[in-house]
Amino acid sequence: MNLRDPTVRWGIGLASGTLVAAIALLFLEGTMQLLVLGIAVFDAISTPQFLKQAVES
């Protein structure tokens, strides 16, 4: 797996965000569900950025 490739980094971020979102939709409800969905979006966006920083250093 080549983390220098942006496609791989974004794929990892989207996969983990999708997993968190699926857990929120299947097992949670109400305010907690919305909170976890927000965390899923943050995870999908921030993970590729963190991986990019890790590769560059």
For the chain, the domains span 6-56
Q: Which residues contact 46 (CB under 8 A, 6 or more apart)?
A: 13
* pLDDT tens for each residue of 4-54: 999 999 999 999 999 999 999 999 999 999 999 999 999 999 999 999 999
Q: Is the pLDDT of residue 57 over 90?
A: no
Q: What is the pLDDT of residue 37?
A: 98
Query: Is the model more confident about 1 or about 18?
Result: 18
DSSP letter for 12, please.
H
pTM of the entire predicted model: 0.90
Nearest partner of 39 among 31, 56, 51, judged by Cα: 31
Q: What are the backbone angles phi and psi of residue 29, rounded to the nearest 5°? A: -150, 160
Give the DSSP letter string of 19-43.
Answer: HHHHHHHHH--HHHHHHHHHHHHHH
